[in-house]
Amino acid sequence: MTSAILTRFTQPEYTGENRCLPCTVVNVGIAAAGSALLALWSPFVGLAAFVASALIIYVRGYLVPGTPELTKRYLPARIHRLFGTHGPAEPTAKGPIDIEAELTAEGIIVDDSEDLTLNPSFHAAWDNAIARVSEESLMDSLSAFLETDQPLLIEEDGTRTMVFADGAPAGNWESQAALIADVAAHQTLISRFPNYLEYDRETRARMVGAVRMFLEACPTCGGDVEIGEEVVKSCCRAFDVVAFSCRDCGVRLAEFELLEAEPA
């Protein structure tokens, strides 16, 4: 009964995979401050108020009505980037491993002095791998990519393609076409990059994401890929992105945020 009530009042657009950490932190802070004031009058009432507020934040995503709009308007972009929420991952590595340099050293990415491109033989092998990822083989390919033997479920909400392993979030992509491109890139890197499997899973995910930026045709319909700048809006912010989309079916294949230059 309790579970059914919680499910009824849950807002999926603001909870789970879609939970906004800035919104959550702001609301928990407000709940803590209000409960502390009540605790001056009665510790029991203050504790009860905080527990009730925390439950509301958990099932609704926020406590104060209008929080998404307030954080979108007033919370600085650098704070959003600090939390790493509601924005696509940056296309270049910031950690100790330079993804572009690693793929270039292996001859997978080629710098022709004018632009970066994929090695033609790698691209051909990747295209062949994409063609082999059928509806029947997708789950097996995805299990290998995620390194799990748990039952997988793919769900789409119109803006993202989410994957769950035994009910737990395991990853999300811009679309199922992007997912297919990644599992095929994973298979191709295994055969073309001798040390690929020696990297940790996060680094390998960044490598296949970098490869996906070179898609020329949509993995699901074969349409040409076009690149453009767009403004993407989430529950609590808006940001400019470079978007890679299929010209024919319109699915989003990749995107990365155009970061503001930090003041000198």
**Cβ count near 51 (within 10 Å):** 12
* Cβ(126)–Cβ(211) below 8 Å: yes
For 217, which DSSP code?
A: B
Spatial separation of the C-alpha atoms in residues 133 and 115, rounded to whole Å:
29
Contact 177, 253 (CB under 8 A): yes
- Report which of 241, 195, 191, 238 is spatially closest to residue 97, judged by C-alpha positions: 195
Place of tokens 């309790």: 2
Nearest to 183 by CA among 151, 149, 232, 147: 147
Is the pTM higher than 0.75? The answer reads: no
Domain ranges of the chain: 2-83, 99-219
- DSSP-derived 3-state class of residue 231: strand
Over its length of 264 residues, how does the chain's per-residue pLDDT go in tens digits? 444 444 444 555 555 555 666 666 777 777 788 788 888 888 888 788 788 777 776 666 656 555 454 444 444 444 444 344 444 444 433 445 788 889 999 999 988 767 788 999 999 999 999 999 877 788 988 999 998 899 999 988 777 888 998 888 888 898 999 999 999 999 999 999 988 999 988 889 989 999 999 999 999 999 999 888 765 555 555 556 678 889 999 898 887 765 554 444
